[in-house]
Chains A and B, each alone.
Chain A
């Protein structure tokens, strides 16, 4: 199973919206609605932002939203803030949990 494809870097100015894509194939992202997104600040453990494509865990800001179209999942961050500067990873998990795979990660820079 190959890693999912994410842009290496994205950027935006405070207050703007940015979208990070996560591309796969019809055998992975296209076949399952089990995409999650994680935020990782330098030196910290990852934190889940989105699960099952669109769901936000309790306590996660509504500025983070997820979606999927075909073989590509996306994370949108609206009202960009300086604290959003971090690495972001998508992850696909199958319903049987026999396989999980991460995207390569995207570094978000807030200009």
Chain B
């Protein structure tokens, strides 16, 4: 079946980096772009952007440029989200979601906690 499996929870100190992974299975990975969505504690969903899994070209939403990087490893059907110079307000659940072009399949989410 089509599914997205994300990496486990992460705890980082302010200023550190984190890389979240999203492994796709059950479909041709390069036929669908991958979205990334953030949900801060008690808050709503926020679209971070997406990456074209065929070309590797990323598109970042406003507010997610600079410290956020989307990448791929198409050999193993993986999408990645890397966040650098972490701040306390990066604490959130990060979801990957297949682009169809609506978000039809979601990963289970990765909790990133930034705390000293």
Contact = CB atoms under 8 A, between A and B. Distances in A.
User: B interface, by DSSP: helix, strand, loop or mixed?
Assistant: strand
A89 interface: yes
A45 interface: yes
Contact of B61 (A36, A46, A51, A99): A99
A97 B45 contact: no
Interface residues of B, number: 23
Contacts, number: 59
A38 B101 contact: no
Contacts of B97: 46
Q: Name the residue in A45, A87, A93, A104 with the highest tally of chain B Cβ atoms < 10 Å from its Cβ.
A: A45
Interface of A: 1, 3, 34, 36, 38, 40, 45-48, 51-52, 57, 87, 89, 91, 93, 95, 97-105
| Pairs A-B, 8 closest by C-beta atoms | A36-B102, A105-B44, A51-B102, A45-B106, A100-B47, A102-B45, A104-B44, A97-B101
